[in-house]
A and B are shown apart, each in its own frame.
Chain A
Amino acid sequence: ETGVTQSPTHLIKTRGQQVTLRCSSQSGHNTVSWYQQALGQGPQFIFQYYREEENGRGNFPPRFSGLQFPNYSSELNVNALELDDSALYLCASIGDRFRDTEAFFGQGTRLTVV
């Protein structure tokens, strides 16, 4: 039990639609990262938020965007869904990016695009 929860656990969307995935971090954690894990692969870094500002992005297009809120929750938004966006999306909560080295992962949201 990591104290990080994601919703929903499963989701099916149609190509071209938009989706919002949610993450609730541990209380007091000011840093959250999002990862995409395609089937049979390791997680790939999408972006990180620190104190509600984006703090680094991986090799993902702008249609992947995020928000972080003062109540330790965050969102991942994906516009214009493509079939290749089907994956497990993981959020990882970190106490403070300057101090802590351990990331606590949620159980993930399985997104299927049809």
Chain B
Amino acid sequence: AQSVTQLGSHVSVSEGALVLLRCNYSSSVPPYLFWYVQYPNQGLQLLLKYTTGATLVKGINGFEAEFKKSETSFHLTKPSAHMSDAAEYFCAVSGRITNAGKSTFGDGTTLTVKP
């Protein structure tokens, strides 16, 4: 069984400030972890993923995330927020014995970027 908890349904930052979106997961098997971004009336776009290997993962648009097994966390960060980062962000987990197409998603975090 798998689950994802995204702490904070809404996060607001100023343009240029650090972005930190929190994700904790639960998985009975070694996980694959994903962050997706969703703009209004659009589908999901993959920002980054952790499968195996290096625990610090770099993605598109300057985002990165660190897999911390001991904390069961996969928090998403970006050093400097841009207005175009305003969107809904979803953390997802799937088990390695299954695949990315059977992911369990969190409820999302809405990121607002203030000028």
Contacts and interface: CB of A to CB of B under 8 A. Distances in A.
Contacts of A101: 32, 49, 51, 99-100
Contacts of A104: 46
Interface residues of B, number: 24
B105 A102 contact: no
Given A101-B32, A101-B49, A102-B49, A94 B99 contact: yes
Contact of A107 (B32, B43, B49, B105): B43
Interface stretch (A13-21, A40-48, A63-71, A77-85): A40-48
Given A42-B90, A43-B90, A56-B98, A103 B103 contact: yes
Interface in B35-84: 36, 41-46, 49, 51
Interface residues of A, number: 30
A94 B34 CA distance: 15
Interface of B: 4, 32, 36, 41-46, 49, 51, 90, 92, 98-108
Closest 9 A-B residue pairs measured CB to CB?
Answer: A42-B105, A33-B101, A105-B43, A105-B44, A97-B99, A107-B43, A103-B100, A94-B101, A101-B100
Interface of A: 2, 4, 6, 31-33, 35, 40-45, 48, 56, 90, 92, 94, 97-98, 100-108, 110
